[in-house]
Amino acid sequence: MTIHLGEIAPDFEQETTFGPIRFHDWLGDSWGILFSHPKDFTPVCTTELGAVAKLAPEWAKRNTKVIGLSVDPVGSHSEWESDIARSQGASVNFPIIADADGTVAALYDMIHPSADPKVTVRTVFIIDPSKKVRLTLTYPPSAGRNFDEVLRVLDSLQLTDAHKVTTPANWTNGDEVIIAPSVGDEQARSLFPAGWKTVLPYLRLVPQPR
């Protein structure tokens, strides 16, 4: 199946390095980031798991749980975690799904036969507290993922959900934001009493709401 933005993320039960989980129950009322790997003991993914572990305080500030996935079994994951801690300077502090039977890879459309019929592709999913998929990013095996970008989009999504704004190109936390097109000027005057800067009739900039 193909996962589209706005759809409910498929639920599943699977073994992880933290024990068996039911995905939706594990997420609870948190945001979630699910990111997949082709297999254990791969060099690019080793650096990625270390990078995600180092960002633990940032995920916590955003009420976000992270979880990895690889097709190898739990025992292999545990051995890989030792390599990650030794080489990346950070212990893996989140669960890694053992998707040996390919259940989750199939549910989330992570097998792309034209690329490689045997391994999961390297996809990132951001899932909101209502279990809706809000972002998908698929990377080639050779390019390490930029988790600063994942954080940036997570911040944008959370800001959009809390306020009637969207974020412009290359936005980073603290920059000006755009009043959502669905908000007319009358409503905007109520929401943003300090006013806004009109660049175009449909492009109205305001300081980022706190």
Backbone angle region of 90, left / alpha / beta, with phi > 0 → left and psi within -120 to 50 → alpha: beta
Strand partners, 18: none
What DSSP assignment string belongs to 114-175? TT-TTSB-EEEEEE-TTSBEEEEEEE-TTS---HHHHHHHHHHHHHHHHSSEE--TT--TTS
Phi, psi dihedrals of residue 191, rounded to the nearest 5°: -75, -30
- In 65-128, which residue ranges form alpha helices assigned H by DSSP? 74-88, 103-107
The answer to whether 45 is a known catalytic residue is yes
With contact defined as beta carbons under 8 Å apart, do 121 and 29 qualify? no
The full 3-state SS of 25-66, as one line of letters, equals HHHCCCEEEEEECCCCCCHHHHHHHHHHHHCHHHHHHCCEEE
CA 98 – CA 69 distance, rounded (Å): 6
Among 9, 34, 45, 179, the active-site one is 45
Strand partners, 178: 166, 205
Q: So which residues are the catalytic ones?
A: 45
